[in-house]
Structure 1
Amino acid sequence: MKTQQLLTTHPLVSQLEEVNLSHPFTELGWLTGCVGQEALIRAWYPKASQITVCSTDGAIEQQMTCIDHRGLFELGNADVFAGAYRLRIDSPYAPQVECWDPYAFKQCSYQGLEQLEQSLRSWYRVLGAQLMTMPAGNHTVNGVRFVVYAPNASSVSVIGDFNHWDGRRHPMERCLDGHWVLFMPELKAGQRYKYELKDKQGAQLPHKADPIGFYAEQYPSLASVIWDHSDYEWTDQRWQEREVDPPIHQPMSIYEVHIGSWKRKHNSFGWASLSYRELATELVEYVKEMGYTHIELMPISEHPFDGSWGYQPVGLFSPTSRYGNPDDFKYFIDCCHQAGIGVIIDWVPAHFPADAHGLARFDGTTLYEYSDPRRGWHKDWNSYIYDFGRDTVRRFLIASALIWFDYYHVDGLRVDAVASMLYWDYSREEGEWIPNVDGGNQNYEAISLLKWFNEEVYREFPRALTVAEESTAFSGVSRPTYLGGLGFGFKWNMGWMHDSLQYMQQDPLFRKYHHNEITFAMVYNYDENFILPLSHDEVVHGKGALLGKMPGDEWQQAANLRVYTAFMFAHPGKKLSFMGNEIAQVSEWNHDGSVEWTVLEYPRHYAQQALTKALNHVYRQHPALYEGDHQHEGFKWIDYNDWQRSILAFERHALSSDDMVIVVCNFTPTPVQSYRLGVPQAGHYQVIFNSDDESYWGSGMVEVACIIAQPLPWQGRGYSIVIPLPPLAAIYLVATKDS
């Protein structure tokens, strides 16, 4: 009777019913030190009619007393159970259930939390929904330990199918540093869950997906899903083994892919995207046959809106479930590695969407975003900006980068929208931004974060690649942090892309007046480790396909695209081209559609595909075309000043051998019957590639395959050769040893 009187005046039942309890470990489960009791078991199960406490061996059973009809039960003198017991629950609304009591696992619920300050990898090994085994007397119990960071919430509950999405059922325990924990016995991988939070004032927030969730459902549930990362058995044993040469001396020809629209299949519901496992066969085989070295995936982090292409992610720790589960994605990467193909994925730390189930005002406050909209809101993308100065946000972001290497074996990350992170005034008018402490426009917090990100990635995974999409002249993007740089391995050369495309869009008659646009990139080529991108950004939003940017009639358009592609492969810098470019797709990219594979029925399209395939193989066979991309020794102009005829000639040199490739480009439709070209040595010169070859739908003007150098100095060289130069064409030559 004393216990009943105590509880009828105690606010516990109201707190539980209204979901306002922040420390359930002191009120529920196996308790000691209660008034008049040696030990007490207290259980809270709304709608339960009877609860029986059972010993783990089933030998002892004692019925609990219902203290409040809303679902609070107690059992006094409970020392015999000593924290290891099961509950048998009867309810008029559901079948009888026997289960372990989550609130009997209090001390072990904190297991590993101290690691969060010691290791960034611990953020995804400790936080979120972790499958764990806990001691229970002489037994062990499998289950899931949930940990979520919400320091400004007044209460947090874990909800899911296992408790009918009822926030009253499983309130979590608040730790001193703002994490909330609860171990749920007998939960398994595949079960859905979310968090129910109340803000400081006790107002309930929209149900939140797990910020460290490993798997999630699509609309309408958008629920997080428990996942076991230990199940998959990798077969790519050589992944991340250190090679002799660093990536800057290796060939990199990257095929950029939007998974959802690379190829579609027809099913009973209409047209659908290929799954990860289907892509592991079809995409991998295609990329290998075409000769690309890497696949770059547009963001595959979980995102709610298809139309964002993945650039508005809510799940930085989970591959999108649109195409399969996490193991399916691992299988795709595994198959890529077995085929000798590296995988780069786009990573988006610059911003996140305002979707209610995501990170926005996660605990009722601006926990992840800057609070001032002049710093915390992107008006261009209608998205929030991470608070790059907050330690927990910085650790969250870097951990979200490491997991892709650690759990998914990716080879590289391409960081999206770096320029928007570096500058406070990015895409903002005067008065719309706040200067830094020195009165300038650089975001020191973001700069510091990017440096730390690169240091952690390369420290943990020395053979990794990090790539910056950075469109300004910010100095040292791909220089080591110890030299004052940001530490990226590579930077997209947006200047080359802009200038060269602008040049190619000119009528060839007027290209001579824009000659500097096609040569200017060599002025700054050695400032950074560049990748030359012809990405998805160039074929959307009304820009049209690459083929449509080329001037002239049907043949000239195709010839322009061929010479441009060949010029790109010969120019210093690693290569990246978006899917569809390799077949001269006619329409601009549509994320709801597919690459226009049907155009391969026509000559100019399968010719462009054949040309791209040939270039990939020539590129990989000649170290001259990649080893010296970032060293002065790797490139020499032969003639960059023939602006009146719009002709360029240059040499590419290997660093590890005497391999040399000479490249001549004619950017006009006017053929030159006898073009004299300076060469550095005597001997024979063989044409190894000609974009005007008939097999590429060219004119077939060049028939001679080998030319003998004459001892006639020309263009600063001691020897020269005379070759026919086809219209709108590029020719590669190599010196051959005399027999």
Structure 2
Amino acid sequence: MPVLPDQHVINQIFSGRYADPFSFLGMHEVAAGLEVRALLPDADEVWVIDTQKQSRVAELRRYDDRGFFVGLMPRRKKSFSYQLEVRWGDNRYVIDDAYRFGPLLEELDIWLLAEGTHLRPYEKLGAHPLTLDGVEGVMFAVWAPNATRVSVVGDFNYWDGRRHPMRLRRENGIWELFIPAVREGQLYKFEIIDCRGNLSLRADPYAFEAQMRPETASVVRQLPAPVAFSDDRRKANQFNQPISVYEVHLGSWRRHAANNYWLSYGELAQELVSYVKWMGFTHIELMPINEHPFDGSWGYQPLGMYAPTRRYGSPEEFKAFIDAVHDAGLNVILDWVPGHFPSDSHGLAQFDGTALYEYADPREGYHQDWNTLIYNYGRHEVRNFLSGNGFYWIERYGIDGLRVDAVASMIYRDYSRKEGQWIPNYYGGRENLEAISFLRYTNQTIGRELGGAVTLAEESTDYPGVTMPPEANGLGFHYKWNMGWMNDTLRYMQLDPVHRKYHHNLLTFGVLYAYSENFILPISHDEVVHGKGSMLDKMPGDAWQKFANLRAYYGFMWAHPGKKLLFMGCEFAQGREWDFNYSLDWHLLEEPYGWHKGVQHLVRDLNFCYRDQSALYELDFNPRGFEWLVVDDYENSIFAFARRDEQGNELIVISNFTPVPRYGYRIGVSRPGRYHEIMNTDSHYYRGSNVGNQGHVYTEPYASHHREHSLSVVIPPLATIYLRREDV
């Protein structure tokens, strides 16, 4: 006879509140032999089958009418592989018992996960289809150290938390379970009884696919295979290469006209990729594609950090989209948000009844601006969750770079807080030392393990050394968005030309610190939303002057030291603010000789000119690549500078930010020769007034601007021109 189980334990199992199921369920050695215990609600008959002999060896007796079965195999002392033959009514099934499998996580993984230094935590946590002891199924693992019980629930077990409670690895607070016969594509969640006795259903933090809102389940999905970094992709990210980024919100770049619905990943792979390539950009930057519950966050409040959003298709289709980008010779940058997360009940907030992923004190853990929670960067497992996520997108999807959102909000404890609303660090300062350590670790790890990938910081302060290596006390980013340059130059451009002479330094100041970091010049989505108006709206004057101002500004921007970034729609001067609910106004380009078409052609030509002229990019981060020629003509709002490459090739850039053409304007240059006009934003081709230098100008031996040789040039109104030096 089997040893009678403890009825109190059985009651706890049926109530879903027994925390150590492996100590009770499955096969166990008892004094009389081997005993098998199984929880099989509504089953009528259960037999134990020896899988090696494929024969019945014992019948399990119903011990509890709710479906608890127990059976003894006398005189057998050695455990063996078994299955259960179960009859429910007229149907018989042979199933594998989830509680016959031993511990899953290996000791080294447990150590590294607890230490927060596991390079690929996503290989161990989450849901992983695999074959164990010849049995196909899925291994589930989730970190919830303060929970009293965690179960896997899904469409494979009637969403019943009693059926598959997990094993707790007390070494690091991870719960694990291998469930046979679960298949890829099935839905699941973790049912958690937290430390306060509350029950909640949670999405898997490491899910590789998630349902789209309003549904919240995770989806069993195979881990994507690693993507090798090609030499071309590595080269395209380097400091001495042309980098021109097209920033895109996939849901509103273009929509189906009939129903205003999004394009799919497959359609974007055709339409968006071909357009970006035609426009001459080198990189596509995707606003966050992590699964997120609220459309209005544009993806900047993600919950499925490891799951590409289902809005546009499956993870496989997203990966095919990235492949299409690479096949077109372009690189992909992904907006990445490790700074905060929303408080939705199915997500990370109070995950096991405690502030597990977030800081407990709202003065540290609550973002007042965005009504979100701040990750606790001082906790090893949280740091590993985030750093592993960055690694995952690069290694598993072939992302070429991560643009890290809102870095300033991470590294300053008093960010957007008044006195008394924040907690100083250990030394009494305002820096978040844990976040700084996390950023350094992540950047260093990506740089060391994934050579060729880059990280870019959206950092809006003058924090020193953002793009310096951690060993030099920097944060370790490759590039930093130049928010100061963007703000100053847009302030200048919004002024009426008659007032610009009083604010001349707004365009010259950026060069003073241009080499303090590796800068990207960003005209991003943030500049064309929330009442800021479109780029065209910012420009003063009548319609002609608005377009001319914008063209002149783009010409100045593409020639200025620093890599380039432009948000979608800005390339054709969309007239209204960006609205994520609608497509860009592509109809503005239908007029073949319209002003919008002219701006689009200009941006395309600027991109190809930029890529063709190494003087415009090769020494972006070296003062040898730039020299002011005219810096102090504030009365005429004229700016002139030279750009050079390693070989000494030279390009002269001249901007006139007044509507008055300047004829016979003399500019001193360092080297005599012929200067060919290769770009003129006032060209008739761009719908300008077509004032220019008729192809080329020659230097004359007249001293000007402290130089022996000079050019007498025509500078069009509200325009920027490029003159390339050529040997006669």
Length-normalised TM-score, structure 1: 0.95
Letter in 1 for 2:641: F
Q: CA deviation at 1:392?
A: 1.2
Match of 2:557 in 1: 568
Match of 1:199 in 2: 194
Aligned residue runs from structure 1 range 461-610, under 5 A: 461-602=450-591, 603-610=594-601
**More moved, 113-122 vs 720-729:** 113-122
Change (3 A) 1:543 1:53: same
Q: Name the CA distance, whole Å, in 2 between partners of 1:477 and 1:109.
A: 37
Letter in 2 for 1:683: G
Match of 2:128 in 1: 130
Partners of 1:638 and 1:716 within 8 A in 2: no
Match of 1:98 in 2: 94
Q: Is structure 2 residue 448 aligned with structure 1 residue 459?
A: yes
Q: Name the CA distance, whole Å, in 1 between partners of 2:626 and 2:233.
A: 30
SS in structure 2 of the partner of residue 312 of structure 1: coil
Match of 1:737 in 2: 727
Aligned residue runs from structure 1 range 304-315, under 5 A: 304-315=293-304
Partners of 2:246 and 2:281 within 8 A in 1: yes
Match of 2:363 in 1: 374
Q: Is structure 2 residue 26 aligned with structure 1 residue 29?
A: yes
Match of 2:161 in 1: 167
Q: Is structure 2 residue 331 aligned with structure 1 residue 342?
A: yes
Q: Name the CA distance, whole Å, in 2 between partners of 1:246 and 1:346.
A: 16
Q: CA deviation at 1:52?
A: 2.3
Q: Name the CA distance, whole Å, in 1 between partners of 2:544 and 2:648.
A: 37
SS in structure 1 of the partner of residue 86 of structure 2: strand
Partners of 1:301 and 1:315 within 8 A in 2: yes
SS in structure 2 of the partner of residue 163 of structure 1: coil
Match of 2:417 in 1: 428
Candidates 616, 630, 633, aligned match of 1:639: 630
- Per-residue CA distance 1:475-529 (angstroms, 9 max, x = gap): 1111111111111001100000000000000001111111111111011111111
Q: Name the CA distance, whole Å, in 1 between partners of 2:234 and 2:326.
A: 15
Candidates 420, 427, 442, aligned match of 2:431: 442
Q: CA deviation at 1:219?
A: 2.4
Q: Name the CA distance, whole Å, in 1 between partners of 2:608 and 2:296.
A: 35
- Per-residue CA distance 1:437-484 (angstroms, 9 max, x = gap): 222211111111111111111011121111110001111111111111
Q: CA deviation at 1:108?
A: 4.4
Match of 2:178 in 1: 183
Aligned residue runs from structure 1 range 276-287, under 5 A: 276-287=265-276
Change (3 A) 1:60 1:327: same
Letter in 2 for 1:283: L
Match of 1:70 in 2: 66
Q: CA deviation at 1:164?
A: 0.8
Partners of 1:215 and 1:319 within 8 A in 2: yes
Candidates 238, 244, 263, aligned match of 2:230: 238
Letter in 2 for 1:340: G
Q: CA deviation at 1:428?
A: 0.5
Q: CA deviation at 1:675?
A: 1.2
**More moved, 195-204 vs 690-699:** 195-204
Q: Name the CA distance, whole Å, in 2 between partners of 1:192 and 1:300.
A: 21
**More moved, 463-472 vs 71-80:** 71-80
SS in structure 1 of the partner of residue 55 of structure 2: coil
Q: CA deviation at 1:312?
A: 0.5
Match of 2:349 in 1: 360
Q: CA deviation at 1:47?
A: 2.2
Letter in 1 for 2:368: K
Q: Name the CA distance, whole Å, in 1 between partners of 2:329 and 2:306.
A: 25
Partners of 2:49 and 2:57 within 8 A in 1: yes
Q: CA deviation at 1:703?
A: 5.1
Change (3 A) 1:549 1:379: same
Q: Name the CA distance, whole Å, in 2 between partners of 1:48 and 1:365.
A: 38
Letter in 2 for 1:122: R
Match of 2:707 in 1: 717
Match of 1:620 in 2: 611
Match of 1:690 in 2: 680
Match of 1:673 in 2: 663
Q: Name the CA distance, whole Å, in 2 between partners of 1:71 and 1:634.
A: 78
Partners of 2:226 and 2:395 within 8 A in 1: no
Q: Name the CA distance, whole Å, in 1 between partners of 2:175 and 2:232.
A: 36
Candidates 135, 147, 153, aligned match of 2:147: 153
Partners of 1:240 and 1:464 within 8 A in 2: no
Partners of 2:116 and 2:380 within 8 A in 1: no
Q: Name the CA distance, whole Å, in 1 between partners of 2:205 and 2:577.
A: 35
Partners of 1:54 and 1:87 within 8 A in 2: yes
Partners of 1:54 and 1:62 within 8 A in 2: yes
Q: Name the CA distance, whole Å, in 2 between partners of 1:280 and 1:233.
A: 20
Q: CA deviation at 1:54?
A: 2.4
- Per-residue CA distance 1:370-410 (angstroms, 9 max, x = gap): 00000000011000001111111111111111101111110
Length-normalised TM-score, structure 2: 0.96
Q: Name the CA distance, whole Å, in 1 between partners of 2:82 and 2:610.
A: 67
Q: CA deviation at 1:297?
A: 0.5
Candidates 13, 16, 19, aligned match of 2:16: 19
Letter in 2 for 1:238: S
Q: Is structure 2 residue 85 aligned with structure 1 residue 88?
A: yes
Q: CA deviation at 1:717?
A: 2.2
Letter in 1 for 2:690: G
Q: Name the CA distance, whole Å, in 2 between partners of 1:619 and 1:37.
A: 83
Match of 1:219 in 2: 213
Q: Name the CA distance, whole Å, in 2 between partners of 1:163 and 1:569.
A: 58
Partners of 1:710 and 1:720 within 8 A in 2: yes
Output the aligned Cα RMSD.
Answer: 1.8
Candidates 33, 42, 46, aligned match of 1:51: 46
Which stretches in structure 2 are left out of the alignment for 5+ residues? none
Q: Is structure 2 residue 644 aligned with structure 1 residue 653?
A: yes
Q: CA deviation at 1:85?
A: 1.9
Match of 1:252 in 2: 243
SS in structure 1 of the partner of residue 672 of structure 2: coil
Letter in 2 for 1:72: F
Sequence identity (%): 48
SS in structure 2 of the partner of residue 210 of structure 1: coil
Q: Is structure 2 residue 36 aligned with structure 1 residue 41?
A: yes
Letter in 1 for 2:88: S
Change (3 A) 1:408 1:428: same
Change (3 A) 1:632 1:488: same
Q: Name the CA distance, whole Å, in 2 between partners of 1:106 and 1:672.
A: 83
Candidates 276, 281, 289, aligned match of 1:292: 281
- Per-residue CA distance 1:661-705 (angstroms, 9 max, x = gap): 100000010111221122222221100000000000000111510
Change (3 A) 1:663 1:534: same
SS in structure 2 of the partner of residue 343 of structure 1: strand
Q: CA deviation at 1:50?
A: 2.1
Letter in 1 for 2:230: R
SS in structure 2 of the partner of residue 182 of structure 1: strand
Match of 2:399 in 1: 410
Letter in 2 for 1:185: P
Q: Name the CA distance, whole Å, in 1 between partners of 2:120 and 2:683.
A: 56
Letter in 1 for 2:627: K
Change (3 A) 1:589 1:43: same
Q: CA deviation at 1:121?
A: 2.9
Letter in 2 for 1:737: D
Q: CA deviation at 1:220?
A: 3.0
